Structure 1
Amino acid sequence: MFLEVRVKNFFVFKNQIVFTLDPLNKTTAIYGPNNAGKSCLIKGIQAMKDILLNQKVELKSN
């Protein structure tokens, strides 16, 4: 289980961002204005999952 995700130099994230998950909550929501990086954060989490499972990582630019 991911407890914290750090992303830097990935799509729209030039500076490092930290996304922290609460292990006691079963639901997490990602919200914000358009073009804030919500989809890019999900792509980063999917890429990390693929790397950990030794699967092919496919990243396509927006």
Structure 2
Amino acid sequence: MSFSDVHLHLHSLRAAELRAEAAAHRHRAVRPGARARLGWLLVELGLRLVNRPSRPRIRPV
């Protein structure tokens, strides 16, 4: 077996490991609705911060 064949074989093994990790990660993914709810929660929070009445600034004497 030549060096290039060993190198190709190692790449194949690593690719299989990465595919297995990706498949395992897909099963743990966040529910689709949760991401949308979080997004809208952040939008609502941003709108509240923007529309909040400003406080008078106290200037040092």
TM (norm. structure 1) is 0.33
Name the structure, 1 or 2, with higher relative contact order (CA <8 Å, separation 6+): 1
Q: Which has the larger radius of gyration?
A: 2
Structure with the higher helix share, 1 or 2:
2
TM-score (norm: length of structure 2): 0.33
